């Protein structure tokens, strides 16, 4: 008896706002790309929330920073993530976890998502080097003049510096 590879035909999504994308995000995306045949980085469109970077800017930054990952695509979604997954045949959601506090919230979301459509959520611990990194913290520190370049891909660091220079 032969069994299919656990990777055969697999498609996962890495959702988020990515405002801006950090090295922590890229760590999780890159590791997910090693586990799945296809990975979609899905940027949430939330008209009620105004980020530092416009949606198109975030998409451009993500495309630039994942260009070396041929099985990764970048897209947007509105509404429920599980509907996005169902409509595109995506069977898994990959979420990076930085700390126990992330797990408490993400577990509830994972259980709700599974209950709604059966999509599974896989939790991936972030690499220790990025366990404290969040887009919000990066923006806050950079706004007050702190150096966050080592936490961002080079193209994102340049874009953040340009954005802050406009203020």
Task: Point out the residues that are catalytic.
Answer: 25, 49, 98, 135
HSE-up (13 A, CA, CB side) for residue 40: 19
Angle between helix 81-88 and helix 100-117 axes, rounded to 10 deg:
50
Q: CA end-to-end span of the chain, whole Å?
A: 64
> How many other β-carbons are positioned within 10 Å of the β-carbon of residue 106?
16
**Radius of gyration of the chain from its Cα atoms, rounded to whole angstroms:** 16
Strand ranges inside 52-119, DSSP E: 72-77, 92-97
């Amino acid at each position: 008896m032969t069994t299919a590879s656990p990777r055969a035909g697999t498609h996962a999504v890495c959702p988020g706002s990515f405002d801006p994308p950090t090295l922590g995000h890229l760590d999780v995306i890159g590791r997910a790309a090693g586990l799945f045949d296809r990975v979609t980085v899905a940027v949430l469109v939330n008209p009620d929330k105004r980020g530092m970077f416009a949606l198109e800017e975030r998409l451009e930054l993500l495309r630039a920073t994942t260009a070396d990952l041929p099985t990764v695509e970048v897209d947007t979604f509105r509404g429920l993530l599980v509907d996005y997954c169902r409509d595109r045949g995506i069977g898994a959601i990959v979420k990076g976890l930085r700390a126990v506090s992330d797990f408490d919230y993400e577990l509830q979301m994972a259980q709700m998502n599974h209950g709604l459509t059966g999509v599974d959520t896989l939790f991936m611990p972030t690499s220790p080097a990025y366990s404290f990194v969040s887009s919000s913290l990066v923006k806050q520190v950079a706004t007050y003049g702190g150096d966050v370049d080592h936490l961002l891909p080079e193209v994102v660091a340049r874009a953040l510096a340009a954005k802050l220079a406009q203020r």
